[in-house]
């Protein structure tokens, strides 16, 4: 008996993971595949939903023009999240972090706060 890697797909047939399956001496997988599994080794493709299984081509194709977006844009930037986290630490944060917060406040804070407000308005919150 050997083991092979199989692909896990979401409801839209996007590659979101991989798992292992046992293969018998006859070359068949020893269990029934779940609806979201595919007997294809994803190789070194990213497992983050950026590739979609194309049944006609029998291959994974990168998402691009003509496919819906994988995910929506986050409501705030990574830098804004880091800033809020660092500010919550207050004086417990290392000096470098406090220095970065001062730089951020001068450089990017207004832009990110405006983005967060626009996101809430778009969402109707």
**71 falls within a domain:** no
Residue 70 has pLDDT above 60, yes or no: no
Is 56 in the same domain as 83?
no
On whether the pTM is more than 0.85, the answer is no
Q: Does residue 68 contact residue 50 with C-beta atoms inside 8 Å?
A: no
In DSSP terms, 4 is beta-bridged to 21
3-class state of residue 30 by DSSP: coil
Where is pLDDT greater, at 11 or 123? 11
Residue 71 has pLDDT above 70, yes or no: no
The three-point CA angle 79-84-88 to 5° equals: 145
Residue 97 pLDDT: 93
Please compute the mean of the pLDDT values over residues 33-54 and round it to a whole number: 90
**82 falls within a domain:** yes
What's the CA gap between 18 and 31, in Å, rounded?
16
Residue 118 has pLDDT above 80, yes or no: no
What's the CA gap between 85 and 118, in Å, rounded?
21
Q: What are phi and psi of 5, to 5 degrees?
A: -95, 135
Number of separate domains in the chain: 2
Q: Domain range holding 84? A: 78-123
């Amino acid at each position: 008996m050997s083991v092979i890697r199989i692909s896990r797909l979401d409801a839209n047939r996007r590659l979101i993971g991989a798992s292992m399956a046992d293969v018998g001496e006859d070359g068949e997988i020893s269990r029934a595949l779940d609806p979201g599994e595919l007997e294809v080794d994803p190789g070194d493709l990213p497992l983050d939903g950026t590739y979609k299984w194309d049944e006609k081509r029998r291959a994974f194709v990168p998402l691009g023009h003509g496919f819906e977006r994988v995910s929506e844009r986050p409501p705030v930037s990574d830098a804004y999240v880091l800033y809020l986290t660092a500010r919550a630490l207050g004086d417990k944060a290392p000096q470098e972090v406090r220095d970065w917060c001062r730089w951020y406040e001068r450089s990017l804070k207004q832009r990110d706060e405006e983005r967060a407000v626009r996101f809430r308005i778009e969402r109707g919150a």
